[in-house]
C-alpha cells in the first residue's frame, strides 16, 4: 500500500514508569475497546514507511507486530527514547509521539510535515508549551542530541531549542485541531477516566 510519507518512521516512546498509575503500561490503556498502541500503529501504517516502539520492558507489548528497540543511552527519560528512535530508524525523518496519546491525527501530522523544509525538527506549541513528543525530528539532529545526552540530563523542550526547531504556533495548529486533543495523555487514573480510557489486565510495570 502506498503511503503519503514513506520517508518518515512513526515512533512511539512507550517507556515511563507511570508511577501515578500504579506502574501500568500506558500504551495498553484502551479507548473504545482498542489499546492505544494499536490505535497509533494503525494510523502509522496508513501514513508512514515504518513504525517503531521504543520501550525498555518489551514483555507487555510482545503481541504487537511492530519493531521494538530499547534505549541505547539509559536513564535519560524521553530524550533517551528519542535518541533510540532516531538511531534505529532507516528513514530520514521520525515522527515521535508518546505511547499514551489517544488522539493522534493524520491532519496534525500532515501540518507538521508541510513545515519541514531544511529544519532539523518541527514542533507544535499549544497553550504556550512546546510539544516535542508530538513532533517531527530529522535524523540529522542525532549528533546534536548525542552531544547533549553525553553532557547529562536535558528536557525535550531544551533539545528542541538546541536543534533550532521550527515551531508550529497555536493559531496554525488550531486550524486542524481546535481543542488541542492530539496532545492529551493520561498520567493519572483521573486523567485516564476523563479521556474515556480503561485499564487492561495485561498492563505491566514499565522500566524507563
CATH code at position 15: 3.90.550.10
pLDDT in tens, 155-203: 999 999 999 999 999 999 999 999 999 999 888 888 888 988 888 655 4
Decide if 73 is inside a domain.
Answer: yes
Decide if 206 is inside a domain.
Answer: no
pLDDT in tens, 21-47: 555 678 888 888 888 999 999 999 999
pLDDT of residue 166: 98
Decide if 72 is inside a domain.
Answer: yes
Q: Domain of residue 100: give its range.
A: 5-198
The DSSP string of 93-150 is EEEEEETT-TT--HHHHHHHHHT-TT-SEEEEEETTEE-TTEEEEEGGGHHHHHHHHH
Could you give the number of structural domains in the chain? 1
pLDDT for 123 beyond 50 = yes
Decide if 159 is inside a domain.
Answer: yes
Name the strand (E) or helix (H) holding 169: none
Amino acid at each position: 500500500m502506498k503511503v503519503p510519507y514513506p520517508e518518515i518512521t512513526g515512533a512511539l516512546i512507550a517507556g515511563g514508569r507511570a508511577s501515578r498509575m500504579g506502574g501500568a503500561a500506558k500504551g495498553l490503556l484502551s479507548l473504545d475497546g482498542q489499546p492505544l498502541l494499536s490505535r497509533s500503529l494503525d494510523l502509522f501504517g496508513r501514513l508512514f514507511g515504518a513504525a517503531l516502539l521504543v520501550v525498555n520492558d518489551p514483555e507487555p507489548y510482545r503481541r504487537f507486530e511492530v519493531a521494538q528497540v530499547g534505549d541505547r543511552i539509559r536513564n535519560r527519560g524521553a530524550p533517551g527514547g528519542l535518541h533510540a528512535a532516531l538511531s534505529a530508524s532507516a528513514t530520514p525523518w521520525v515522527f515521535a509521539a508518546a505511547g499514551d496519546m489517544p488522539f493522534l491525527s493524520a491532519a496534525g501530522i500532515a501540518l507538521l510535515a508541510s513545515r519541514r523544509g531544511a529544519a532539523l525538527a518541527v514542533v507544535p506549541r499549544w497553550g504556550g508549551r512546546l510539544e516535542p513528543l508530538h513532533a517531527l525530528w530529522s535524523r540529522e539532529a542525532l549528533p546534536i542530541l548525542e552531544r547533549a545526552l553525553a553532557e547529562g540530563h536535558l528536557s525535550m523542550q531544551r533539545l528542541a531549542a538546541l536543534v533550532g526547531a521550527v515551531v508550529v504556533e497555536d493559531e496554525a495548529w488550531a486550524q486542524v485541531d481546535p481543542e488541542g486533543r492530539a496532545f492529551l495523555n493520561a498520567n493519572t487514573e483521573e486523567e485516564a477516566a476523563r479521556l474515556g480510557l480503561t485499564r487492561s489486565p495485561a498492563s505491566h510495570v514499565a522500566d524507563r
